[in-house]
Amino acid sequence: MYEGLRQTLLRVNTSLTGYLAEARRAARGECDFGVADVRRIRGPVEEMAPVLAHSTELLQLQPELAGQLDLYKSHLGDLQTTLGQIRVMLLARQASLEAGRAQLSAVSQWMSAFRQTR
Domain boundaries, the chain: 2-91
pLDDT at res. 70: 95
pLDDT digits (tens, 9 = 90+) for 37-75: 999 999 999 999 888 888 898 889 889 889 999 999 999
DSSP code of 30? S
pLDDT digits (tens, 9 = 90+) for 108-117: 999 999 999 8
**Contact indicator for 27, 86 with CB cutoff of 8 Å:** yes
Torsion angles phi and psi, residue 62, rounded to 5: -135, 75
Contacts of 16 (CB under 8 A, 6+ apart): 41, 44, 45, 72, 75, 76, 79
pLDDT at res. 94: 92
For 29, left (φ over 0), alpha (ψ -120 to 50), or beta?
Answer: left
